[in-house]
């Protein structure tokens, strides 16, 4: 499962200074040491307050239908027993 972090807080913690990262400004430090420290800092970032959603087009509950002429598709959700949007989403969906 992906781990989402707050990008603004990550930049703040990494010390973004005028487009450059302050931890990279120390020229006497080896690259691998800076990279290792940066990865450690990213791994310690607090997780962003997000909820995982599944787009209707990727959901196992979405069914595609066509009108009597075989065109103009429309979609329904069997979980909610209602029409849905192809690009819609919800937190109850499950990937196919």
User: For the segment 61-81, what is each residue's pLDDT rounded down to a tens digit?
Assistant: 998 888 888 777 888 998 888
Q: Residue ranges per domain, the chain?
A: 7-43, 54-90
Are the C-beta atoms of 10 and 47 separated by less than 8 Å? Answer: no
pTM of the model: 0.48
| pLDDT < 70: residue spans in the chain | 1, 15-29
* CA distances in angstroms from 68 to 2, 59, 71, 73, 85, listed in the order given: 42, 25, 8, 10, 20
Q: What's the pLDDT score for residue 24?
A: 57
Q: What's the pLDDT score for residue 11?
A: 75
């Amino acid at each position: 499962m992906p781990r989402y972090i707050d990008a603004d807080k990550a930049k703040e913690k990494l010390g973004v200074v005028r487009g450059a990262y302050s931890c990279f400004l120390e020229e006497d430090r080896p690259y691998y040491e800076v990279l290792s420290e940066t990865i450690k800092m990213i791994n310690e970032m607090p997780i962003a307050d997000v909820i995982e959603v599944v787009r209707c087009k990727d959901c196992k509950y979405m069914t595609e239908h066509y009108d009597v002429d075989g065109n103009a598709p429309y979609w329904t959700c069997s979980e909610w027993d209602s029409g849905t949007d192809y690009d819609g989403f919800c937190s109850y969906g499950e990937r196919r």
